[in-house]
Amino acid sequence: MHAGMPTPGKEHAQLEKLVGVWEGEEQMEASHWGPASKARGKYNMVRACDGFFVVQDYSQEKDGKIGFRGHGVFGWDPSDQQFTWYWVDSMGSPAPTASRGKWVGDTLTFESKSSQGNGRYTFRFNSANSLTFKLENCFDGKNWVQFMEGTYKKK
């Protein structure tokens, strides 16, 4: 890099906690996408772009088959002092914009809004090697409903 190029800051260093291969059990709640079920999720998260971003590849296995995949990019937006998370997946709908989030203690929480409803995504670090992810939806503008929760161990 040449003089004057930006360098990652303390917020980017916080994202380093995500880096690694994470695997664990998930509980899917009944929804219009299907009945309640158990699944196994796997994240592979790596540093990207000289430490400014963390790239996430996700797969979910049910009944011995990969049935869902996703790809995310975590970053930091210094202009509004929030973390960002861009997400696309095998449902095929592009995200209208990045989810925005804050890090409080051991928990990184994002929220998104779209024509399909609002989403809240919580990454809680139970320890350096244990992560719980919870996804909640709000379709009526008032009530949050849990869609899934998983606990993952770092490999």
pLDDT by position in tens, the chain (length 155):
566 888 999 999 999 999 999 999 999 999 888 899 999 999 999 999 999 999 999 999 999 999 999 999 999 999 999 999 999 999 888 877 899 999 999 999 999 988 778 999 999 999 999 999 999 999 888 999 999 999 999 99
The domain limits of the chain are 10-154
pTM above threshold 0.95: no
HSE-CB of 13 using CA atoms within 13 angstroms:
3
Other Cβ atoms within 10 Å of 133 Cβ, number? 20
The Cα–Cα gap between 24 and 132 comes to 9
Which residue in 126, 124, 128, 133 sits closest to 154, CA to CA?
A: 128
Q: What is the pLDDT of residue 117?
A: 84
Architecture of the CATH domain 10-154:
Beta Barrel (2.40)
Q: What is the pLDDT of residue 145?
A: 94
Beta-bridged to residue 6, according to DSSP, are none
The sign of the torsion formed by the CA atoms of 138, 87, 135, 50 equals negative
